[in-house]
A and B are shown apart, each in its own frame.
Chain A
Amino acid sequence: MAEIKKEALLAMYDRMRLIRTFEDRVADLFVRGKMPGFVHLYAGQEAIAAGVIAHLTDRDWITSTHRGHGHCIAKGVDIKGMMAELYAKVTGLCKGRGSSMHIADIGKGMLGANGIVGAGGPLACGSALTAKVLGTDQVTVCFFGDGAAEQGTIHESMNLASIWKLPVVFVCENNLYAVSTPSSYHCAAGEICARAAAYNMPGLALDGTDVMAVYEASGEAIARARRGQGPSLIEARAFRYYGHFVGDPQRYKTKEEMEGYKARDPLEVFKKRVVEAGLISEAELAKIDIRAAEAVEEAVRFAEESPFPAPEECLKDVYVSYPTEGGDL
């Protein structure tokens, strides 16, 4: 901890707080019927996105999952555009066509949340291939869940990234459940990080509720990728507070298990540590909390006041160009 600069600690707390505030507010708005569709919330896993993405710039890429809000926010995606997208408004980042599961912002290096579990692996190999072919030092981080770890795409991607020495860091966010199916059941090897050996890359497991541990381990993996030394696998274990989606009754979890999460809340653990160590004052943290609350409220106002897309917008942007009559080019 002592080796992490205060600015970096503050920046990571800022991202974690913004994610938590955003997600709590979304949960509240969703149950009040403000948003159509479904939302899968990232609350409880903030330390992973914040700790990993702290090492990236806008030029670096990430691929994400159906639980993508945290990745977006950590990558600096505009939360007004995100909130408006969740509201299905035309001012949303995807003009109301995407939804929670498809938020993307290429300018910020965010290659999209993804509704298909495990789909981000091959895409991450692709952006990493771009960096390699063009000779840049851009790194791609592929976030995926423990459920996705059982998809062939993830295995194919780890192998491909390794044989081509692609600048990818695979970050498995093991939140212990694929919907309701425990990873202890669906993962034959027990530990997902053990698979790194099969693909000839470094692999380690860590406590994904500890942002400093995430920061340190991912910093090393990202630096390695940037140096052209190829991919790594990090398995970060954490808990998803709202279940698979908002409305999930989580009957597959016991009360004790849910209570146990509280003692390991990534934000509370962080606060306690930095305050006790005298690194950051409570007042400094409180300032960040207030700023996050204000930013989220502003995003909600923006989303509320924005219009829905005009119905005929449905027909746009399937292609860049597409002659519909033949000969009209």
Chain B
Amino acid sequence: MTTRTLTFREAINEAIRLEMRRDPTVVLLGEDVAGGATLPHLEAAGGSEWGGALGVTVGLAKEFGRGRVLDTPISESGFIGAAVGAAVTGLRPIAELMFVDFFGVCMDQIYNQGGKFRYMFGGKVQVPLVIRTTIGAGFRAAAQHSGCHYSVFTHMPGLKTVVPSTPHDAKGLLITAIRDPDPVLFFEHKLLYDIRGEVPEGEYVIPLGVAEIKRRGKHVTVVTIGRMVHTAMEAAEKLSKDGIELEVIDLRCLSPMDNRTILQSVKKTHRLLVIDEDNPRCSMACDIIALVSTQAFDELDAPPRMVTAPHTPVPFSPSLEDYYIPSVDNIVSSVRTLVS
């Protein structure tokens, strides 16, 4: 398997492309995922190159046709629900929810239908559905296009939640998600789309529920998610110069969650910091701290800490938004308190 460098965006595109080649029941639907449906000048050119609001699915309509890459009206309940209905009747749909903040207009179909069917129907159906959506602040897109909100879905039984941090993981986890028999919410941070990383060619899978230790260290266990993995690694680099070694865990999958890797690390470092770009109340940060406090309390040498966004919507002005997003400085200062 040869490896080359791809952007996060290209890695996701490749995962979808490979799965659509491999399995004719995989379809993609969402707003502008092909783009410009029915416009004659685009059809003449062999399809649109729009590829979704952030260009992730560019070129797929050209290869697979508009019968499998479906532009939808702005009807999130309609097409997310259609994806659920298609999933229980024989397709493996990938629905794109343009921004996670839009879940407010389709949540019933996600958690009440897709998430509960298997349970309510006595285990007699499968819902092999992926909902890809974008998350994250830093895009100057303001309060209704910038949230993370993955904790909301992680709270819901029946759903699985995945937040990749690298092009390599984005591809492998998305292929796994598409093949998974349960509904998976796949969260893509907008500010990661242009990062580059090594990505093997061809198909590979990364199991759900397995975290990755990005950096070994003995002083503090840092559990983090998505784009914050990169911020945490920067902080770790900085602190290392002062002799403080962070063990950085990229959670990758929130539901199911890799409890064991977190607990084993805490047993070694005896200190826990969670870094989460989501809002703090009823969050992944709370959940991870609850896990460690209830299952490894005696291992802790200091109270666990969290660095998260504040309990506010995402603001617009750059000065406000930059304050909102957990920073390297926030992390460094929190670690210093933790080890002091």
CA distance A228 to B121 in the complex (A): 31
- Which residue from chain A places its CB closest to the CB of B263 in the assembled complex? A326
Distance from B83 Cβ to chain A, minimum over Cβ atoms (Å): 6
**Which of A63, A119, A131, A326 touches B108 (beta carbons < 8 Å)?**
A119
Indicate whether B109 reaches chain A with its CB closer than 8 angstroms: yes
Assess whether A153 is in contact with B122, with CB atoms less than 8 Å apart: no
Distance from B65 Cβ to chain A, minimum over Cβ atoms (Å): 11
**Which of A93, A111, A163, A326 touches B261 (beta carbons < 8 Å)?**
A326
Beyond A156-B73, A160-B78, is A327–B258 a contact (Cβ under 8 Å)? yes
List A contacts of B77 (CB < 8 A): 122, 152-153, 156
CA distance A55 to B117 in the complex (A): 27
Indicate whether B157 reaches chain A with its CB closer than 8 angstroms: yes
Beyond A119-B113, A321-B182, is A106–B88 a contact (Cβ under 8 Å)? yes
Question: Quick one: which of B87-138 are within 8 Å of A by CB?
Answer: 87-91, 93, 108-109, 112-113, 117-126
Assess whether B75 is in contact with A97, with CB atoms less than 8 Å apart: no
Beyond A111-B85, A119-B109, is A130–B181 a contact (Cβ under 8 Å)? no
Assess whether B260 is in contact with A325, with CB atoms less than 8 Å apart: yes
Give the segment of A45-53, A239-247, A299-307, A312-320 that binds chain B: A312-320
Assess whether B117 is in contact with A112, with CB atoms less than 8 Å apart: yes
**Which of A105, A122, A133 touches B68 (beta carbons < 8 Å)?**
A133
Q: Mark A118-149, 1 if CB is under 8 A from B, else 0.
A: 01011111111111111000000000000000
Question: Chain B interface residue count: which class?
Answer: 35 or more
Indicate whether B257 reaches chain A with its CB closer than 8 angstroms: yes
**Which of A94, A98, A104, A124 touches B85 (beta carbons < 8 Å)?**
A124
Indicate whether B67 reaches chain A with its CB closer than 8 angstroms: yes
Beyond A94-B121, A97-B120, is A318–B157 a contact (Cβ under 8 Å)? yes
Assess whether B108 is in contact with A94, with CB atoms less than 8 Å apart: no
List B contacts of A92 (CB < 8 A): 122
Indicate whether B72 reaches chain A with its CB closer than 8 angstroms: yes
List A contacts of B93 (CB < 8 A): 126
Beyond A63-B85, A106-B88, is A116–B209 a contact (Cβ under 8 Å)? no
CA distance A128 to B125 in the complex (A): 17
CA distance A130 to B124 in the complex (A): 19
Distance from A196 Cβ to chain B, minimum over Cβ atoms (Å): 17
Indicate whether A229 reaches chain B with its CB closer than 8 angstroms: no
Beyond A106-B125, A111-B85, A321-B182, is A122–B209 a contact (Cβ under 8 Å)? no
List A contacts of B181 (CB < 8 A): 320-321
List A contacts of B211 (CB < 8 A): 326
CA distance A153 to B117 in the complex (A): 18
Assess whether A133 is in contact with B67, with CB atoms less than 8 Å apart: yes
List B contacts of A94 (CB < 8 A): 120-122, 124
List A contacts of B70 (CB < 8 A): 129, 164
Distance from B74 Cβ to chain A, minimum over Cβ atoms (Å): 9
Indicate whether B286 reaches chain A with its CB closer than 8 angstroms: no
Assess whether B79 is in contact with A122, with CB atoms less than 8 Å apart: yes
List B contacts of A159 (CB < 8 A): 73, 75, 78
Indicate whether A2 reaches chain B with its CB closer than 8 angstroms: no
CA distance A156 to B85 in the complex (A): 15
List A contacts of B256 (CB < 8 A): 322-324, 326
Indicate whether B318 reaches chain A with its CB closer than 8 angstroms: no
Indicate whether A157 reaches chain B with its CB closer than 8 angstroms: yes
**Which of A102, A125, A316 touches B78 (beta carbons < 8 Å)?**
A125
List B contacts of A177 (CB < 8 A): none
Beyond A61-B89, A95-B123, A320-B118, is A123–B84 a contact (Cβ under 8 Å)? yes
List B contacts of A127 (CB < 8 A): 85-86, 88-89
Distance from B194 Cβ to chain A, minimum over Cβ atoms (Å): 31
Assess whether A129 is in contact with B88, with CB atoms less than 8 Å apart: no
CA distance A63 to B88 in the complex (A): 12
Assess whether B113 is in contact with A116, with CB atoms less than 8 Å apart: yes
Assess whether B90 is in contact with A327, with CB atoms less than 8 Å apart: no
List B contacts of A318 (CB < 8 A): 118-119, 157-158
**Which of B27, B68, B113 touches A123 (beta carbons < 8 Å)?**
B113
- Which residue from chain A places its CB closest to the CB of B260 in the assembled complex? A326
CA distance A306 to B337 in the complex (A): 61
List B contacts of A188 (CB < 8 A): none
Residues of A within 8 A of B (CB): 61, 63, 92-98, 102, 104-106, 111-112, 114-116, 119, 121-134, 152-153, 156-157, 159-160, 163-164, 316-327, 329
Pairs of residues from A and B, 9 with the lowest C-beta to C-beta distance, nearest first: A126-B85, A122-B81, A317-B123, A326-B258, A156-B78, A123-B85, A95-B122, A94-B122, A156-B75
User: Given A106-B89, A134-B91, A156-B78, 9 other A-B contacts at CB below 8 A?
Assistant: A112-B120, A114-B113, A116-B108, A123-B85, A127-B86, A127-B89, A153-B109, A319-B118, A327-B209
13 pairs of residues in contact across A and B, judged by CB atoms under 8 Å: A95-B123, A96-B122, A97-B122, A98-B121, A122-B80, A123-B113, A126-B89, A127-B89, A133-B68, A319-B158, A319-B160, A322-B182, A326-B257
